A and B are shown apart, each in its own frame.
Chain A
Amino acid sequence: MSLKKRIHQFFISLRLGFFLALRQIRRSSKWTTILIIFVMTLTFLNLVVVSGILVGLIEGSVVAVKSRYLSDVIVSTLQEKTYIENSPYVVAVAKSLPWTEAVSARYLEGGTIEANYKTRVKETDLIDNVGIIVAGINPTDEDAVTGIKDLIVEGSYLTATDYDQVLLGHNLLRKYLPIESPGFSTLQDVEVGDKVRLIINGNTREVIVKGILKSKVDEISRRVFMTDTQLRSLIGRSDYNVDEISILLKPGSDPVVARDAMLASGIGAYAKVQTFEEGLPKFLIDIKNTFALLGNMVSSIGLVVASITIFIVIFINAITRRKFIGILKGIGIHSTAIEFAYVLQSLFYAIMGTFLGAIILFGFLKPYIASNPIDFPFSDGILVATLSGTLVRVLILFIATLIAGYIPAKIVVRQNTLDAILGR
């Protein structure tokens, strides 16, 4: 048979396969069809959601670190320096970029915070103190970049004129982090309005707790925040040189372009300029990759289960219709057309399952989890399901379904025609 004739025959078989599949689906048991589609929907969700949640646990953390701390571009001290030299110039350059929405410069200093200095009566009484990083911020600028004001869970946020007032990250307080561990100290019985002692560079200040910030980003939850003017005076930084500058870009701006523009202005001589992705802690990226791998492994098991389900469904369907398959062959219907009919049926189940799964995923699950993140100790877990990633999984599901539908159809179709007709 010539190639042209074979191709023609192939399309005839495909058309007849479609004709048969359509009628078999239309006139088969509705409950069976619904059940198979339900299984395929669950398989699709298993494929996308399980890995999406696992990746989303870390992605939630990444998003939080970006939006609440690093922002789009982060400028930090060079390795051999203690602060960013020429900071006023660096800030001015950052603010002058056409893509910049807001800039927050932070002073950072190590210190200690002590709570029970008034109630401690003996020298041998344990000191209730915690080692901390104090961040000196311009309250308005910081809120514009990281929306830190929204993280206040008790008390109120700082104003530019606040003096001797601090915000505490919630993980510094025992009532929020009830962990008894020698290496992880917290302050006991500290409430908003209480006085605590701040020791920085040998200077001691008694400050009032104005508010408590709750966040799953360590750079917020384990820090103490005060106004930049007071911290500057406490550490004697009269040159206005800061330690960190976070730059929030306008929506749609490319952080890489902004970073390159900063470096082109010669900022590289004074500071390290990184996009948020470059500034992410390496362990976060490692965990993200590990969780993605785990997600793919779990999804693969789901895929195998789905393939076996489809195989069994099609095999039983084909076996129970063995006589009719024999008759079809007997009256001259080509095997290819009969196989197509079963493969197309499998594909129908996969398409319907995927379609319903996609509606559930993008219409309900993803928006619901986005507005009600899963509360994990280290992050607010979101569901990561990108369109491209989902399409790849759909493609894999379709290929697995096609194979799972084709094999049983082939097994039954290749049986002896007369035996099939006579039920032998």
Chain B
Amino acid sequence: MITVEKLVKSFHSGESELVVLKGMSFTVPEGQFLSVTGRSGSGKSTLLYQLGLLDNPNSGSIIIDNTKVLDLTTREKTQFRLERLGYVFQDYALLPELSSLENVMLPLLMMGGNKSQARAKAQAALSKVGLGDKLINLPSQLSGGQQQRVSIARAIGHNPKIIFADEPTANLDSETAEAVIKTFLELHKEGQTIIMVTHEEEYSRCTDRVITLSDGEIISDIMQVKT
């Protein structure tokens, strides 16, 4: 599903260059729930942004679903993100003036579906994450956990190939965080490919595989056997 080869990303700060990803290579098969962990500054979020086509690496290649995504134009990348990728951000990233339903409908409308189809799919996605009764609520009327679940519903509403989640539990209390992880596990059970960045070990233990980064390099890549 995803093949990453010799991925390098560096940032310039004045005359000095900070290499954040140092020639990383790995593959992610379809349906895998992968967690990327590591200390703060290890490069895990930067890796996610490269894989999610939100940023451009300096060198290397990324192949997603048989597409060399780094060769795509900006417009094509936007369309690729829309059709095949889903995002869950740490701070939920919901539009404050849109209701839960409208937030989830956005990518569906952009994909060209009519309003009633988009509404039905968004409603189904919200029901799936347990928010079928919060359709008309604005983000400000929801708790942090509920907002994150709306964010997940938005990520899955258009049936993407891969979901990228950047520290999805970081802003949540443990009970709510567990509910969010449970939602991811249910999606994974249905065959969804998920790549989640987290620094919380207990949640990474729930995933199929854990890649641990340190100073921009993979220091461990462990397949986990679920009991």
Across the interface, B102 reaches (CB within 8 A) one of A13, A23, A28, namely A23
* Minimal beta-carbon separation of B164 from chain A (angstroms): 10
Q: Does A7 contact B (CB under 8 A)?
A: no
Q: Does A19 contact B (CB under 8 A)?
A: yes
Secondary structure class of chain A's binding surface, majority of residues: helix
Within 8 A of A (CB), among B24-57: 49, 52, 54-55
Q: Does A328 contact B (CB under 8 A)?
A: yes
Residue in B closest to A416 when the chains form the complex, CB atoms: B55
Residue in A closest to B93 when the chains form the complex, CB atoms: A327
CA distance A19 to B89 in the complex (A): 23
Size class of the contact patch on chain B: 20 to 34
Neighbouring A residues of B98 by C-beta, 8 Å: 23
B109 touches A331 (CB 8 A): no
Q: Does A160 contact B (CB under 8 A)?
A: no
B55 touches A331 (CB 8 A): no
Neighbouring B residues of A328 by C-beta, 8 Å: 95, 106
B85 touches A421 (CB 8 A): no
CA distance A417 to B93 in the complex (A): 13
Neighbouring A residues of B102 by C-beta, 8 Å: 19, 23
Within 8 A of A (CB), among B137-165: 138, 154
Neighbouring B residues of A28 by C-beta, 8 Å: 97
A12 touches B112 (CB 8 A): yes
Residue in B closest to A414 when the chains form the complex, CB atoms: B74
* Minimal beta-carbon separation of B105 from chain A (angstroms): 8
B83 touches A421 (CB 8 A): no
* Minimal beta-carbon separation of B122 from chain A (angstroms): 13
Across the interface, A16 reaches (CB within 8 A) one of B86, B96, B106, namely B106
**Per-residue B-contact encoding for A1-44, CB less than 8 Å = 1, 0 else:** 10000001000110110010001101110000000000000000
- Chain A interface residue count, CB cutoff 8 Å, equals 27
Neighbouring A residues of B54 by C-beta, 8 Å: 330, 417-418, 421
Q: Does B171 contact A (CB under 8 A)?
A: no
A418 touches B154 (CB 8 A): no
Neighbouring A residues of B87 by C-beta, 8 Å: 330-331
CA distance A152 to B206 in the complex (A): 101
Residue in A closest to B45 when the chains form the complex, CB atoms: A422
**Per-residue A-contact encoding for B88-116, CB less than 8 Å = 1, 0 else:** 01000101111000100011011010000
Neighbouring A residues of B89 by C-beta, 8 Å: 327, 421
7 A–B pairs (Cβ distance < 8 Å), ordered by A:
A12-B110, A24-B97, A323-B93, A324-B95, A330-B93, A335-B78, A421-B89
**Besides A27-B97, A337-B110, 16 new A-B residue pairs in contact (Cβ under 8 A), listed by A number:** A1-B75, A12-B110, A12-B112, A15-B109, A19-B109, A327-B93, A330-B52, A330-B81, A331-B82, A331-B106, A331-B107, A333-B82, A333-B110, A334-B75, A335-B78, A421-B89
Q: Report B's interface with A, CB cutoff 8 A.
A: 49, 52, 54-55, 75, 78-83, 85-87, 89, 93, 95-98, 102, 106-107, 109-110, 112, 138, 154
